Amino acid sequence: MRPVLLDRFIALLDYDLWLFGAAAGLTLISGLAMASAATTIDPRLALRHDTWALIGILLSISVSRRSYRRWTDGAAIVYAISVGALLIVEVAGAERLGATRWLSIFGMSVQPSELAKLAMTLLLAQYLAGQSLPLPRHVFLMSGVLAGLPALLIFLQPDLGSASILAAIWLGMVWVAGAPRRMLLLAGSGLLALLPIGWHVLKSYQRDRLLAFIDPHADPLGAGYTIIQSVIAVGSGQLLGRGWFAGTQNQLSFLPERHSDFIFSVIGEEWGCIGCLVVVGLFGVLLMRAVRIARETSVPQGRLLAVGILLWMGYQACVNMGMVMGLLPVVGVPLPLISYGGSSMVTVWIALGLLQSIHRSDRLRPPVS
């Protein structure tokens, strides 16, 4: 009879502890930063944030204990639900800051675009797996339709940042699935050709944000205000930061959206360059483990799913940190595992649970007699 503790220890070895540790470290940092950022907004936000983080971790563990194939088998249903929710947002969504991105369900705000990232990644992994090489044209086009439908609905909310995340996930997954370079170049050229049309579809405040990226001081009290305050916050932290709860841009409410899209500015101001490097380092560990999981699995579906999650996390983190430091335009995407938002926190942790499931499926250990 094998001891129960030995069973639990063997089960623990099946997990990628580096992946979990990096994600847990980022979530811990988010809790500390949120406690400071929420002080002058609503202190209850920090408790809600921690609650959603706990729910996300528990769901992640639950997801990881089952084969990822069981979740991809239901991808079409999750995808249909996410598209339906995005359609409902168009007619009955809650508007905030000029955008309609949220649904109110039983008093809770839910952002369907976060579910759409997960649903599309699951569905593309299932659809593209097992296709012949090179990837047939009709499969390439159909995958584009599957990615394009939620991306278009998200773009119309309007949410340029999240729409671009779906585009990045799709391009990366079809490339790994074996799409010829010519198709990828045509797809990239097509997306670039749509930019002039997209410019006219954008709302005025979005166009102002893009123009403010070029010269934020042209409108320092308007479109350029957030970028200017964010850069001041990050720069004023210098090497070691001003100290927890001691950031002036944060505590004196100069920095807008400091609990959500611009929480990395709070980290930079209060914990300095060292704090920022710790966050970047933890994201680096998380992404490298995702790369390793993708490379180690010989199952196409698992590899594609891991690549999709890798692109999602990596691209979104780079866009958020880039816009906070004034290196990219402000497009309003949260920093994974750190920014306030239950929808984002839960879906990201579920995606990490899927990564663990891929890892465990290929590393199941033989029973010990």
Q: What's the whole-model pTM score?
A: 0.92
Rounded to whole angstroms, the Cα distance separating 78 from 72 reads: 9
Q: What is the pLDDT of residue 7?
A: 47
pLDDT for res 13: 55
Q: Is 325 exposed, middle or buried (0-12, 13-18, 19+ CB in 10 A)?
A: middle
- Parse the chain into domains and list their residue ranges: 24-65+218-361, 70-203
Helices (H), 65-203: 68-73, 75-92, 112-128, 137-155, 160-176, 181-193, 195-201
Residues 6+ apart with CB under 8 A from 296: 359, 362
- pLDDT range class, residue 2, cuts 50, 70, 90: low
Q: Cβ distance 13 to 365 under 8 Å?
A: yes
Q: What is the pLDDT of residues 297-308, one digit of tens each?
A: 989 999 999 999
pLDDT (average), residues 264-292? 97
Q: Is residue 70 exposed (0-12), middle (13-18) or buried (19+ Cβ within 10 Å)? A: exposed
Q: Could you give the CA distance from residue 26 to residue 300 in angstroms, rounded to a whole number?
A: 29
**Positive/negative CA dihedral, 47, 48, 50, 51:** positive
List Cβ neighbours of 15 (8 Å cut-off, separation of 6 or more).
Answer: 64, 356, 359, 360
State residue 6's pLDDT score. 46
